[in-house]
Structure 1
Amino acid sequence: MTTLPRGEAADVHGVVRRRRAVAVAGAVSAGLLLLSACDKPSPRATVTVGKNSVSAEAACYDDGKDIGQEEATKCAQKKGGDTIEVPQSETLRIGVDPEIADTGWALWINGQQVTSVYKKTYYSFQGVDLFADQQGQAAPKTLNISVVQQNKAAQSSKYEGVWNFRLENGDA
């Protein structure tokens, strides 16, 4: 049996409160540590053909900072990420996060810019025959397309991100 000096009761509640406070402080610290280790996800771009769509995070992105035209071109020449089948003359739809649209974006095919800069979150390319025969060459079976976030201001060009996709000829 435990004996306490006369008139004093065991302070069980105080011990429990201290343990809870230490546990809560530990949990909060661990949560903050985990949050500080997480990177903010890059904006997303989506390609849709018919009822099928693929979405991707950036292949190259530095949280809105300029990665430069040379790096953007290298990135756009990498193999595309997710693949989507595109039948001849089907509408190709591209959607981007508002963060990309605010800066502006262009469509690149196999590392070459093929459109002007858009400032919309959605654009559709209707009846585009991406896989047409080119000057005596057979139609390609696949194409790499890129959504390139770029700001073409009057005094400077800024390239902020690249999202890659792979298109497969649906009629091959």
Structure 2
Amino acid sequence: MTTMQAAVRRRRAVAVAGAVSAGLLVLAACDKPTPRATVTVGKNSISAEATCYEDGDDLGQEKATKCALKKASDSIEVAQSETLRIGVDPKIADTGWALWINGQQVTNVYKKTYYSFQGVDLFADQQGQAAPKTLYISIVEQDKPKSAGTSKEFKGVWNFKLVNGDA
């Protein structure tokens, strides 16, 4: 092998090593996608990544509550007494999840990837007030409490906007 061929081989090896290193840097800079949650009404559905999620680490109840109060941009229309279906990634179901409305937990913790709330009137008139035109719900990944206690870990929050189909 001549010195010229050896020099060309070295340059190629350096170029390949540089390309691999650059590729790894680009990949390391990317955020991993969060697990997804989906809300379905009739034939329409919307899906979202988490509003707040720290790779499965505990957010704490205070931060989860703040995240659940953030407004979602994607919306879905819900008419009175339609079935609201929620689907979650198996990672979320393994921990457990609950439905929250306006920053308040309204269901027990489920450990299923799918749950349907049949005939729920989320937009019912309340104490003499007109039915709201929009409602913000959250899927909150949280552990299922032992007995009557409260959840100790809150790992993620997915927010959705429901639009009153009867307004």
Query: Quick check: TM above 0.5?
Result: yes
Q: Which residue of 1 aligns with 2:98?
A: 106
Following the alignment from structure 2 to structure 1, what is the Cα–Cα distance between the partners of residues 155 and 50?
10
Q: How many equivalent residue pairs? A: 164
Following the alignment from structure 1 to structure 2, what is the Cα–Cα distance between the partners of residues 157 and 58?
19
Give 5+ residue unaligned stretches, structure 2.
none
2:154 pairs, out of 154, 159, 171, with: 159
Cα distance 1:14–1:50, how it changes in 2: closer, same or farther (>3 A)? same
Q: Which residue of 2 aligns with 1:169?
A: 164
1:135 aligns with 2:131: no
Q: Give the Å deviation of 1:153.
A: 3.6
Give 5+ residue unaligned stretches, structure 1.
1-8
Conserved 8 A contact 1:150-1:158? yes
Q: Which residue of 2 aligns with 1:35?
A: 27
| Regions of 4+ moved over 6 Å | none
Q: Which residue of 2 aligns with 1:67?
A: 59
Q: Give the Å deviation of 1:160.
A: 0.8
SS of equivalent residue, structure 2 residue 122: coil
SS of equivalent residue, structure 2 residue 7: helix
Q: Deviations over 1:134-165 (max 9, x none)?
A: 12111110000000000134376111111000
1:57 pairs, out of 49, 56, 59, with: 49
Conserved 8 A contact 1:95-1:122? yes
Kindly report the root-mean-square deviation, in angstroms, between the aligned alpha carbons of the 2 structures: 1.6
1:89 pairs, out of 56, 81, 96, with: 81
2:113 pairs, out of 109, 113, 121, with: 121
Q: Which has the larger radius of gyration?
A: 1
Conserved 8 A contact 1:56-1:81? no
Following the alignment from structure 2 to structure 1, what is the Cα–Cα distance between the partners of residues 56 and 67?
16
TM-score of the pair, normalised by structure 2: 0.91
Following the alignment from structure 2 to structure 1, what is the Cα–Cα distance between the partners of residues 120 and 145?
29
Conserved 8 A contact 1:47-1:95? yes
